[in-house]
Amino acid sequence: MPTIEQTIDVDVPVRTAYDQWTQFEDFPHFMNGVEQITQVSDTLTHWTTSIGGVHREFDAQIVAQEPDRVVAWRSVDGTAHAGHVSFEQLSPTSTRVTTKIDWEPDSLVEKVGAAVGVDDRQVKKDLERFKEFIESRGTETGAWRGTVQGGTPPL
């Protein structure tokens, strides 16, 4: 199972970065291939993606969430994947955002892409677009400050 890990520093306070990340329905603004995310409940999201010509729909469960620190998830159907995003305050106005994702490529094309680092580069570009998105706005589009516990965090 390939593991992707990428980090980026954003010039916004940790609360702003975290709050924006909890706005899952805004992911299509900065994640290539994500067509739509629907927040089904506080701990369940439904994803529609189209990556490399492969269209998928799946549900992901939030298994851990701690404001300004971490959001962790795992798929409940479809392609097996799990991960977490952590937030580290570097200064009152800057934050380090780190993503770590484990996923199981299904097709030969996905397996080859993972082997040559296509997925790593995609996550890096998505984080760069997140940085541009949040820094250009200067504020989050919303926030969910709830805590999720009891699930088994991935990784």
Residues 29-44: tens digit of each pLDDT: 999 989 999 999 999 9
- Asked if residue 143 belongs to a domain, the reply is no
Q: Report if residue 43 sits inside a domain.
A: yes
Q: Given this model, what pLDDT does residue 140 score? A: 78
* Count of domains for the chain: 1
pLDDT at 109: 63
DSSP string, 52-91: TTEEEEEEEEEEEEETTTEEEEEESSSS-EEEEEEEEEEE
Residue 81 has what pLDDT?
A: 85
pLDDT band for position 110 (50/70/90)?
Answer: low
Domain membership of residue 142 (yes or no) is no
User: Among positive and negative, which fits the CA dihedral 102, 106, 111, 114?
Assistant: negative
Residue 155 inside a domain? The answer is: no
pLDDT at 129: 95
- 150 falls within a domain: no
Residue bearing the bigger pLDDT, 85 or 50: 85
Closest C-alpha to 64, from 150, 144, 3: 150
Report H helices in the chain: 14-21, 108-115, 118-137
The pLDDT assigned to 148 comes to 80
Q: What is the mean pLDDT of residues 111-130?
A: 77
> For position 151, what pLDDT does the model report?
57
Give the domain range for residue 47. 3-137
Report yes or no on 117 lying in a domain. Answer: yes
* Amino acid 13: pLDDT: 97
Q: Is residue 115 part of a domain?
A: yes
Q: Is the pLDDT of residue 7 over 90?
A: yes
113: domain CATH number is 3.30.530.20
- 54-66 and 70-75 as β-strands: parallel, antiparallel, unpaired? antiparallel
